[in-house]
Amino acid sequence: MRRRALLRAGAVAGVAALAGCSGSENGDESDWTAFRGGPARSGVRPAASGPGDSPEITWELTQADIAGEFDEMDDPDAVRFGGVPSWPVVVDGVVAWTDGYTAAPQIDSTEASTRVVAADPATGSIRWSKRLSDEVADAAEWFAPTGDDGRLYVPEVVDDEFVLVAFDPSDGTELDRLETGLSFGQLFTITQPVAHDGTIYLTTEDDTGDGTGRLRAFDDDGTEEWSVEAPVSTSAQVSVTVAEGQVWTTQWGESPAFVAYDATDGSETTRVPLTGLPPSIAVAERPAVPAAPTIVDGWLYAAGGLNAFYFNDLAQLLAANVDSTDARWRYRPPGTEQADLINDLGFDIDETALESVLEQHEFEQGYATLYGYPAVVDGLVIATGIGETGEESPGGLFAVDAETGDEEWATPVQQGGFAPVVAGETAYLVTGGGVDVVSTDGSHRRRIELDTPARPELSPALGEGGLFATTTDGVVALR
């Protein structure tokens, strides 16, 4: 581990006002209602919400288990896993997610099944499950449940219309159906909805291919409150962040920016230009699209998005005030000298082009990039990616001072994490093969290997004393 001297005794109190744990997503809520915990995408909860620093696998619920329970399929080999489980949420004492699979008891007879599943956080026993339409099956990976005000909203298609079905999280009672007026034909242009204070937000992408579309807000009875033209990205897990009375989207292309809209009427309020981003290696002449921002106490934090993660593309961590037009600081760790990693970057990158990129960004000694969703806690911004950690592994967790962007520590972890989450003073990073547990002081506590590969780009959930992660085959719980 590389560590900068932590001479911050007097500074931490001042930084707490900047990036501490005073926001509702950073300490006051026990539920995990959406991707990264809630609409602000903070990824942080109190210590009691998580499994501590020595968690163990306590249960795993697979697609074969669900098929056996509801489709009388006792033979796992008879289940073809066509869909992918969504990320989980923790709402009102249950862990909930959507899942799609095909049960095939015989070759000439198949039955597709897409379900919302709610399980007991401690035991994994299924509390309730509801069958969803075949039309929504292919999109089950992105259409996860979202919680708000005692409701669990689940995207669904009814009579060729995209609707949101509101369930009671505790027992699965259907409470309402919100008709959005969006057609089934628009299904793959609709992004993951998120609910906040009785309003549901989502975006729909136009067919122009230039990243434009509409940002829409619906009341909890399905009435459209407002709809405005806005930049949209359907290639991300989530396209909007909601915090402090504003709804944020990401504009990509030649003039990338984070754009904010008033949550009450959709009027544009703030635009933070993303100038000077490093050029993408995978996509020529454009910077890698950043992930949706994390917003904590008036500050915006962001790193590279899915492309940066999938292709190890060039990206950095940045911070900006939500009311300003310029980034406060940007950070990228020192480069790692992993030759195999450098040689595998991007698409069709010849040696001359790669050397040019490394020289341009002063990476002659190695490569570095940060991607995914940072967690902000105790005056630190914790992000994952590739860089020098003082060990052989190119993967690392990197913590920087939230006010200055100065590196505080770097800890080696298995490469391939995307969305660190924090409970109290413990951070958890899910990678393809397991979970790294790291103290917020940078000490690596342990690593838990998973029996089934995880989907690290689908944020794990914290709540009810557990960590819940999506695998290729279901959901696994650590407690």
For residues 475 and 129, is the Cβ–Cβ distance under 8 A? no
**Furthest C-alpha separation in the chain:** 70
Cα separation, 170 vs 121, in Å, equals: 12
Residues pairing with 475 in the sheet: 61, 470
Q: Which two tokens stand for residue 68?
A: 């056996």
Q: Where would I find the beta strands (DSSP E) of 34-108?
A: 44-45, 57-62, 79-80, 89-91, 94-106
Residues pairing with 353 in the sheet: none
End-to-end Cα distance, the chain: 26
Q: How many CB atoms lie within 10 A of CB 285?
A: 7
Residues pairing with 469 in the sheet: 476
Write down the residue that tokens 């198949």 correspond to: 110
Task: Pick the range with the lowest mean pLDDT from 79-88, 222-231, 308-317.
Answer: 79-88
Q: How many CB atoms lie within 10 A of CB 17?
A: 12
The H or E element spanning position 295 is: strand 294-296
pLDDT of residue 80: 63
Residue 283 has pLDDT above 80, yes or no: no
Q: Which two tokens stand for residue 331?
A: 């950070």
For residues 428 and 373, is the Cβ–Cβ distance under 8 A? no
Cα separation, 33 vs 40, in Å, equals: 11
For residues 414 and 389, is the Cβ–Cβ distance under 8 A? no
Cα separation, 312 vs 329, in Å, equals: 22
Residue, of 49 and 75, whose pLDDT is higher: 49
- Long-range own/partner contacts, residues 425-430 (CB < 8 A, 24 or more apart): 425/47, 425/378, 426/47, 426/50, 426/52, 426/53, 427/375, 427/382, 427/397, 428/50, 428/55, 428/460, 428/462, 428/467, 429/384, 429/397, 429/456, 430/454, 430/456, 430/460, 430/469
Q: Which two tokens stand for residue 263?
A: 């949550």
Paired sense of beta strands 421-423 and 44-45, if any: parallel
What does each C-alpha distance from 439 to 2, 247, 353, 429, 445 come to in angstroms? Answer: 14, 32, 39, 11, 7
Write down the residue that tokens 């006010």 correspond to: 403
Q: How far is CA 140 from the centre of its chain?
A: 16
Q: Strand, coil or helix: what is 257?
A: strand
pLDDT of residue 108: 45
DSSP 190: B
Cα separation, 239 vs 151, in Å, equals: 22
pLDDT of residue 160: 83
For 11-70, what is each residue's pLDDT tens digit?
Answer: 333 433 333 443 345 444 679 999 999 999 999 999 999 999 999 999 999 988 888 888
pTM comes to 0.90
Q: Strand, coil or helix: what is 394?
A: coil
For 430-459, what is each residue's pLDDT tens digit?
Answer: 999 999 999 999 999 999 999 999 999 999
Q: Across the beta sheet with 317-321, what order do the strands follow? A: 294-296, 299-302, 317-321, 327-331
DSSP 234: T
Cα separation, 96 vs 226, in Å, equals: 29
For residues 478 and 467, is the Cβ–Cβ distance under 8 A? yes
CB neighbour list of residue 10: distance below 8 Å, 6 or more residues apart: none
Task: Pick the range with the lowest mean pLDDT from 344-353, 381-390, 409-418, 456-465.
Answer: 344-353
Cα separation, 129 vs 116, in Å, equals: 6
pLDDT of residue 382: 98
pLDDT of residue 165: 95
Mean pLDDT of 87-109: 79
Dihedral (Cα; 41, 47, 52, 56), 10-degree rounding: -50
Q: How far is CA 155 from the centre of its chain?
A: 18
Q: Which two tokens stand for residue 73?
A: 């399929």
Average pLDDT of every residue of the chain: 84
Dihedral (Cα; 454, 458, 460, 461), 10-degree rounding: -140
Residue, of 63 and 227, whose pLDDT is higher: 227
Mean pLDDT of 105-113: 54
Q: Strand, coil or helix: what is 35?
A: helix
pLDDT of residue 59: 98
Cα separation, 367 vs 385, in Å, equals: 11
